[in-house]
């Protein structure tokens, strides 16, 4: 298991909105979501608990 960590990255508002929209679409469609933040790849699995 990975240790807890904080990743900070500033994005222009339109780019941040796009990332949130992609996450919302993936959750709504039951798809896995992947995002790169500050050079680190983050995965949200299909069966994630919210």
Contact 7, 36 (CB under 8 A): no
Tokens of 12: 């222009």
Is 6 a member of any domain?
no
How many distinct structural domains can be found in the chain?
Answer: 1
pLDDT band of 14, cuts 50, 70, 90: very high
Alpha carbons 17 and 11: distance in angstroms, whole number: 9
Buried/exposed 7-46: b ≥16 CB within 10 Å, e otherwise: eeeeeeeeeeeeeeeeeeebeeeeeebeeeeeeeeeeeee
Q: In this prediction, what percent of the chain has a pLDDT beyond 70?
A: 90
Is 5 a member of any domain?
no
Is 32 a member of any domain?
yes
Alpha carbons 21 and 1: distance in angstroms, whole number: 28
pTM of the model: 0.65
Boundaries of domain holding 29? 13-44
């Amino acid at each position: 298991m990975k240790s807890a960590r904080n990743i900070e990255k500033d994005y222009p508002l339109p780019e941040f909105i796009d990332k949130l929209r992609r996450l919302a679409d993936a959750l709504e469609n039951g798809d896995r979501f992947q995002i790169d933040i500050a050079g680190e790849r983050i995965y949200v699995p299909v069966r994630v608990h919210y």
